[in-house]
């Protein structure tokens, strides 16, 4: 017998809800007992309780690279508190997929490689039947000093899996697109989900917005790496498709619920922003703020990272959004690999210009992520002049974000000292 125990951390709960939904709706695992636990102590108690019933707990973890050191420490505490019990700890998410060897070295029994909606139910079925986990596609494990894998999990058809946990009534942002065609060199998304788009169909969106409404959710939000890319197979923007999406979502959400598009957890690519696109958001949605992805004010760095747009696209997008009455946050990443003094000066100039025009800077420090082309680069060093500018903008309410924490996290991995001269 088997049970599923999910280690709920705040930043991972949405991914775990999607995995829970896959388990709930798979006929082979719909009967498997599932329990959520928040924090190591609660997790220890739940594992002990499930083991006492004669079931083998499969413990699901999901995390990003920035959380890996903290998660590894939590795993050590849980293992110490459940010594002698036959629990199977499986790690998923971007970090486990990109660095299965390091994930297993931290003490996990299995690392999921790729998307987990098919892998987790198949793993639970295999454990229940006494089969080896290695028979399930999409897993890595250790045999002695070697890491073995059963290959990468196949890409998921979004229409075939729920974007939430319907039986448990756990909902979140509705994922409408997976993958990204631009493959920016700092980002895990295209390398985890492959550099192409998979869109949820309009009818599937209708079904799940209706489900949100039935649960009386106050807000309906969309999860996508590029909001205005929905319905387009490549780098373009199909506004007829976008209008159909928003009109359908508005119809199903009804007047009692708020609809958000182009704000967290999705953003607008600057070259997609147009008067018509913004008018559609105004017509159908409730958000008065949008996020525009810029990442740098240096034309050279934008080309180097493969962004697919220029600085002028950013200026134009922010101006159009401000003219349309939106509050605008603009994403920037500081301390990028190969960044020069001229690159920093260009970015600072753009920051001042945008802030003076009423936009807010959403600041990030570069962190090298496994599985990306820049994984071997050092962590981002934000130079003193740029750091001082960000502090001044923050004091005026024109900058926000976790750039200081991200810089500390990058260097806490032992890759350098943020006090080193630049």
The total number of structural domains that make up the chain: 2
pLDDT number for residue 409: 76
Quick one: what percent of the chain has pLDDT higher than 70? 97
pLDDT number for residue 63: 93
Q: Answer yes or no: is 422 within a domain.
A: no
Of 205, 336, 320, 208, the residue nearest 268 (C-alpha): 320
Q: How many residues does the chain have?
A: 422
* Low-confidence winner among 9-13, 116-120, 180-184, 192-196 (lowest mean pLDDT): 192-196
Q: Are residues 268 and 408 in the same domain?
A: yes
pLDDT number for residue 411: 57
- The mean pLDDT value of the chain amounts to 93
Q: Answer yes or no: is 198 within a domain.
A: yes
Q: Answer yes or no: is 117 within a domain.
A: yes
Cis peptide preceding 345, ω within 30 of 0: no
Q: For the segment 274-327, what is each residue's pLDDT rounded down to a tens digit?
A: 999 999 999 999 999 999 999 999 999 999 999 999 999 999 999 999 999 999
Q: Which CATH number characterizes residue 290's domain?
A: 3.80.30.20
pLDDT number for residue 90: 98
Q: Answer yes or no: is 318 within a domain.
A: yes
Q: Mean of the pLDDT values across residues 120-128?
A: 97
Q: Mean of the pLDDT values across residues 106-119?
A: 96
Q: Mean of the pLDDT values across residues 129-153?
A: 93
pLDDT number for residue 417: 31
Q: Mean of the pLDDT values across residues 259-288?
A: 97
Q: Is the pLDDT of residue 82 over 70?
A: yes
Boundary-marking domain end, from 149, 169, 197: 149
The CA distance from 257 to 249, in Å, is 10
Q: Are residues 180 and 229 in the same domain?
A: yes
Q: Mean of the pLDDT values across residues 192-219?
A: 91
Q: Are residues 142 and 170 in the same domain?
A: no
pLDDT number for residue 195: 72
Strands in 219-223's sheet, in edge-to-edge order, are 174-175, 219-223, 258-260
Q: Are residues 208 and 79 in the same domain?
A: no
Q: Are residues 225 and 349 in the same domain?
A: yes
Boundary-marking domain end, from 149, 168, 200: 149
Q: For the segment 338-353, what is each residue's pLDDT rounded down to a tens digit?
A: 999 999 999 999 999 9
Q: Is the pLDDT of residue 418 over 60?
A: no
The distance of Cα 37 from the centroid of its chain, to the nearest Å, equals 21
Q: Are residues 137 and 36 in the same domain?
A: yes
Q: Are residues 35 and 164 in the same domain?
A: no
pLDDT number for residue 416: 36
pLDDT number for residue 303: 97
Q: Are residues 130 and 72 in the same domain?
A: yes
Q: Answer yes or no: is 347 within a domain.
A: yes
pLDDT number for residue 422: 28
Quick check: 174 and 298 in contact, CB under 8 A?
no
**Domain of 96?**
2-149
The CA distance from 149 to 312, in Å, is 45
pLDDT number for residue 191: 73
Looking at per-residue confidence, does 412 or 108 come out higher?
A: 108
pLDDT number for residue 415: 41
Q: Answer yes or no: is 421 within a domain.
A: no
Q: Answer yes or no: is 420 within a domain.
A: no
pLDDT number for residue 412: 53
pLDDT number for residue 216: 86
Q: Are residues 119 and 263 in the same domain?
A: no
Q: Are residues 76 and 169 in the same domain?
A: no
Q: Are residues 125 and 237 in the same domain?
A: no
Q: For the segment 9-51, what is each residue's pLDDT rounded down to a tens digit?
A: 888 899 999 999 999 999 999 999 999 999 999 999 999 999 9
Q: Which CATH number characterizes residue 62's domain?
A: 3.40.50.2300
pLDDT number for residue 227: 97
pLDDT number for residue 414: 39
Q: Mean of the pLDDT values across residues 200-229?
A: 95
Q: Answer yes or no: is 169 within a domain.
A: yes
Boundary-marking domain end, from 149, 173, 190: 149
Binning pLDDT at 50, 70 and 90, where does residue 420 land? very low
pLDDT number for residue 29: 96
pLDDT number for residue 406: 87
pTM of the model: 0.91
Q: Are residues 331 and 302 in the same domain?
A: yes
């Amino acid at each position: 017998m088997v049970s599923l125990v999910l280690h709920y951390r705040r930043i991972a709960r949405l991914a775990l809800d999607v995995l829970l939904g896959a388990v709930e709706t798979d006929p082979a695992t719909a009967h498997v007992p599932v329990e959520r636990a928040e924090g190591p102590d609660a997790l220890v108690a739940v594992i002990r309780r499930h083991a006492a019933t004669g079931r083998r707990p499969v413990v699901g973890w999901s995390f990003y690279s920035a959380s890996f050191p903290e998660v590894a420490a939590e795993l050590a505490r849980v293992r110490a508190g459940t010594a002698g019990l036959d629990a199977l700890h499986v790690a998923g998410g971007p970090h486990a997929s990109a660095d299965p060897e390091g994930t297993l070295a931290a003490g996990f029994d299995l690392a999921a490689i790729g998307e987990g909606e098919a892998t987790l139910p198949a793993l639970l079925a295999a454990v229940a039947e006494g089969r080896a986990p290695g028979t399930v596609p999409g897993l890595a494990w250790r045999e002695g000093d070697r890491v073995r894998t059963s290959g990468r999990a196949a890409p998921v058809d979004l229409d075939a899996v729920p974007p939430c946990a319907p039986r448990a009534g756990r909902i979140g942002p509705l994922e409408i697109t997976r993958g990204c065609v631009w493959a920016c060199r700092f980002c895990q998304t295209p390398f985890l989900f492959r550099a192409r788009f998979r869109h949820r169909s309009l009818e599937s969106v209708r079904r799940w917005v209706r489900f949100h409404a039935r649960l009386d959710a106050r807000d309906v939000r969309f999860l996508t790496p590029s909001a205005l890319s929905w319905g387009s197979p490549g780098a373009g923007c199909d506004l007829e498709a976008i209008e159909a999406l928003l009109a359908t979502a508005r119809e199903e959400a009804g007047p009692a619920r708020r609809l958000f598009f182009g704000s967290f957890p999705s953003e607008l690519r600057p070259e997609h922003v147009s008067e018509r696109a913004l008018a559609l958001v105004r017509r159908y949605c409730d958000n008065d703020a949008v996020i525009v992805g810029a990442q740098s004010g240096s034309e050279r760095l934008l080309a180097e990272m493969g962004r697919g747009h220029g600085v002028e696209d950013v200026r134009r997008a922010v101006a159009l959004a401000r003219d349309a009455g939106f509050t605008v946050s603009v994403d920037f990443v500081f301390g990028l690999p190969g960044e020069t003094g001229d690159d920093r000066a260009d970015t600072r100039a753009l920051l001042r210009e945008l802030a003076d025009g009423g936009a807010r800077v959403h600041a990030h420090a570069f962190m090298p992520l496994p599985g990306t082309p820049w994984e071997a680069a050092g962590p981002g060093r934000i130079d003193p002049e740029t750091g001082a500018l960000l502090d001044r903008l923050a004091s005026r309410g024109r900058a926000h974000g976790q750039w200081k924490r991200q810089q500390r996290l990058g260097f806490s991995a032992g890759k350098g000292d943020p006090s080193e001269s630049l």
